Chain A
Amino acid sequence: MEHAVEQKAVPGLPRLGTPAPPFQAETTHGPIRLEDFKGSWLILFSHPADFTPVCTTEFLAFAEIAPELKQRNVELMGLSIDSTYSHIAWLRNIEQNFKKKIPFPIIADLNKEVAGLYGMIMPGESRTETSRCVFIIDPNGIVRAMIYYPLTTGRNMDEILRLIDALQTTDKHGVATPANWRPGDKVIVPPPKTAEAAEERVKAGYECVDWYFCKREEPK
């Protein structure tokens, strides 16, 4: 017996490959619109609350990779349901205690407007805090990747950098990237879509296990 799979679209929630919901928000760098990031990649991420230990480790870690992201034309912007004053006090506290300046803006989403647009609140976890969400938005404003972590678990910066590298490699060379791919590793040649192309693929000089599974060196 077949079961009908019904999937109701939730209006406004971002989907991969669709435009990121536009917004204007108060931040620690003043009012910022999503469109201000046009031409750059953007990592928009939420954290549960200021002055909490896991979030502090994450902010230190994001600040640590910020220069590497900059080299890749990637900007960072945080978000939580705290006030600008709370954000400023926390950032100053981090600088004082950990000797690290947080170089990116943080949205003060007191009315939960942006959190609502992006589905950052998981009521099963908390109705008053945003979970650890990451939205990677490309220079054209398209949502390219989403990562959700629970309140208890700090994010992995290596994976975020790896994901950015993978997306940029895909865009630049029209390839896909295999599991655990790292820059410099071989990349996947997208599978052929016709029988004729499959026939040609195995003779094309790639490193093929079979017609649908071919790798090549990462293009320079």
Chain B
Amino acid sequence: MACINVDGTLVASARTLLVNLVEPRSAEEASARTGLPLYRVRASLREFLQAGLVVEANGTYLLTDVGRKRLAGQG
């Protein structure tokens, strides 16, 4: 896992990206807001989806409760 460490904590770029998904955003919008390359945002979103940290609807991604807890260091 590139975004989530083995102890469950998030790497810095993952935190930056997740913080920007408190509102639904497309990968392109998230890339523009965070300054992360689009390929990296897409790869991270795939990982977030698998871990249940975000949900996807109509091409936009939104932080879940699991994602909020993980961001707060509780998950």
Residue positions of A touching B, CB distance < 8 A: 29-33, 35-37, 39-40, 75
What DSSP secondary structure best describes chain A's contact surface? Answer: mixed
Q: Nearest Cβ in chain A — how far from B44, in angstroms?
A: 8
B39 touching A75, Cβ below 8 Å: yes
**Inter-chain residue pair count (beta carbon < 8 A):** 33
Q: Which residues of A contact B28 (CB under 8 A)?
A: 39
Which chain A residue shows the least CB distance to B39?
A: A36
Q: Nearest Cβ in chain A — how far from B24, in angstroms?
A: 20
User: What are 10 pairs between A and B in contact, CB < 8 Å?
Assistant: A30-B1, A30-B3, A30-B43, A30-B47, A31-B47, A33-B43, A36-B39, A36-B40, A36-B42, A37-B38
Q: Nearest Cβ in chain B — how far from A92, in angstroms?
A: 16
Add 18 more A-B contacts to A30-B43, A32-B39 (CB < 8 A).
A29-B2, A29-B40, A30-B47, A31-B2, A31-B46, A33-B42, A35-B42, A36-B40, A36-B42, A37-B38, A37-B39, A39-B28, A39-B38, A40-B37, A40-B38, A40-B39, A75-B37, A75-B39
- Contact residues on B (Cβ < 8 Å of other chain), bracket: 10 to 19
Q: Which B1-24 residues have a C-beta within 8 angstroms of A?
A: 1-3
A32 touching B38, Cβ below 8 Å: no
Interface bits B31-42 vs A (CB < 8 Å: 1, else 0) = 000000111101
Q: Which residues of B contact A75 (CB under 8 A)?
A: 37, 39
Q: Which residues of B contact A33 (CB under 8 A)?
A: 42-43, 46
Q: Nearest Cβ in chain B — how far from A23, in angstroms?
A: 13
Q: How far is the CA of A40 from the CA of B3 in the complex (A)?
A: 22
Which chain B residue shows the least CB distance to A77?
A: B39
Most buried by B among A30, A32, A40, A75: A30
Q: Nearest Cβ in chain A — how far from B74, in angstroms?
A: 24
Which chain B residue shows the least CB distance to A73?
A: B38
